[in-house]
Structure 1
């Protein structure tokens, strides 16, 4: 059996360091927003080449606070994409604003800048591109439009730890960038976690207060805030894992390159494309197939686990029917949702397993 992801294997490779870090926190008696979280913030900001990092309890909270700090609120609109995890849209809704969707580019499946300007209205308050599957959106084109209209860009980098655009790290280009540390992410906690990075002093100050009940100092609440604090155990674990992130990222990229070579000219699938000037970190290795469901079943029968990221775009989700979108509104996103299949990819995946998966994918082309 080849799993889509193997978190046990990752833990086994760093078990002694993780166990020691957790025990150190337990013995300290300080369990929320302590020294481990503060040091992790410093280290992650340095990794992203940003001035500040603000650790929170989830990636969704990171997006929510980023929007609030940027001044997004009721009756505003925020432009984003529908081909994403629902948390992107949820964070916008939490502020009272209305999500406005644009379609994605057919190759990278990230925000299509050519569709962006038409979606901007006098109510637009921010733009949220999603760095999908580990590859950054076309930030130059998006930022140029945002600058023309005086709008902040808030990067949803929840799947893009260490991804780059023309040498700049994810999260470092827009007003702020939000990351998730859900366990399956390239940098994952042993539980929940998130962080925001920014180079703006005022944004950082506001978000630090918002995550901790709006306190400027203890029991002095200067704004209505939230309980979005990161706990010390997650901070300590993430510090350990961050030291390995570049090594793990390169291992993902090597496995993705092997998939690329094995699936070149495939009759069954279209492999993902790394756009020029971008560093794809392959949070998932998402192929496309017109017979996606049949291919998934064939691989399941071979003992190969796959994933669907994401089978229903947000604009067609029942929970967001109130936004008024329907089938056909975003054809590129809808086609991708029907066709995308995530193959196993993680640092501990062996090259032999990569070859087994690719062989099974190609075999499906001949038996279908």
Structure 2
């Protein structure tokens, strides 16, 4: 191995945008010296929304300041508010619950599948009650949620369906892209996501023109974009940065290749790790259908020991969400006494993510897989 191959392998690359440095610097100057001096919601944002929408088959795209903000804006646009409930996964990122609370509604936590770690449609169905206004399934790590089941569930009960596809951009299930299964979906562009950028940002994607129009208004203090300082709704400051829009336009054509590389790496891992199940290290389900490969996550009976083992080999790993959402101090007050989410709590104790980003070399990928496979049985 070369010295580079033997160096520490970070969980996310430190040089993520090094290859685009010259372009980014050029765009920074062009944005800063443009005659209109529009640093937010200008023509670059409009072009980016249109180009991303075309890549999704003509969907409406509304760029906003973050994936979290995107969830909040959609919930508000759906008129979810005080007295309403939204069914969300018991395992995942805090915005699944905090976005619901930020509009005055209550998150109701449903348990997850013990292998895929995505919310279980059957568990979600049990949480639907007279106050339920929406379902918010989320894709998790490298697996898309069972959106056909959730779509049927939403139609059966007359509920809104908001797809948290923040980590799922690029995934396809039954021929339909992530983000377009429900009334609306959201993407996150924070740097570590599949379409990350050097900053914070996100987008709402939908085929509902009226919902998109309302979200556009809400992201800019309730203005409709035609008459400045005329506020039609109480909104938020969730505007998209022009420099980032220009940079994302530059990177959009290369997204399929980066996604393909992620899928190639994940496929190799899954094949290598298949025999480890009997040793207490479970790989994600094999296959390419409904996969997004934001990160590659193992379920390990001795998670902390595996993480320490990898560290001795110079391989960084990350334990996402080591506590189920309803057990978090911020969200526990909104749960019912005696309630439980056994699969989510078990997953929180076992999940460990390893590098899967497209900057990995073949040698690094092999080194990571060898290290996992060499993890000793207790």
Residue 117 of structure 1: aligned partner: 125
Residue 279 of structure 1: aligned partner: 290
Mapped pair 1:209 → 2:217 = yes
Mapped pair 1:312 → 2:323 = yes
Runs of 4+ in 1 over 4 A off after TM superposition: 325-328
Residue 230 of structure 2: aligned partner: 220
1:248-327 equivalences under 5 Å are 248-266=258-276, 267-274=279-286, 278-324=289-335
Determine the C-alpha separation between the residues in 1 that align with 2:338 and 2:158: 32
Residue 346 of structure 1: aligned partner: 357
Structure 1: segments with no counterpart, 5+ residues: none
Which SS does the other structure have where 1:288 is aligned? strand
Alignment check: 8 A CA contact 2:142 2:297 kept: no
Determine the C-alpha separation between the residues in 2 that align with 1:50 and 1:141: 24
| Cα deviations by residue, 1:236-284 (Å, 9 ceiling, x for unpaired) | 12112222111100000111111112212013511111467x2312101
Residue 245 of structure 2: aligned partner: 235
Which SS does the other structure have where 1:242 is aligned? helix
Alignment check: 8 A CA contact 1:190 1:237 kept: no
Alignment check: 8 A CA contact 2:261 2:358 kept: yes
Mapped pair 1:81 → 2:72 = no
Q: Check 1:68–1:50 CA distance in 2 against 1; reply closer, same or farther (3 A cut).
A: farther
Alignment check: 8 A CA contact 1:7 1:184 kept: no
Determine the C-alpha separation between the residues in 2 that align with 1:275 and 1:325: 38
Residue 5 of structure 2: aligned partner: none
Query: What is the root-mean-square deviation of aligned Cα atoms in Å?
Result: 1.5
Residue 343 of structure 2: aligned partner: 332
Alignment check: 8 A CA contact 1:210 1:225 kept: yes
1:41 Cα offset (Å): 0.6
| Cα deviations by residue, 1:66-91 (Å, 9 ceiling, x for unpaired) | 11111100110000102111011111
Determine the C-alpha separation between the residues in 2 that align with 1:175 and 1:328: 29
Mapped pair 1:137 → 2:145 = yes
Report the TM-score, using the length of structure 1 for normalisation: 0.96
1:317 Cα offset (Å): 0.6
Alignment check: 8 A CA contact 1:135 1:274 kept: no
User: Which of 4, 25, 37 is equivalent to 2:11?
Assistant: 4
Alignment check: 8 A CA contact 1:289 1:339 kept: yes
**Count of matched residue pairs:** 365
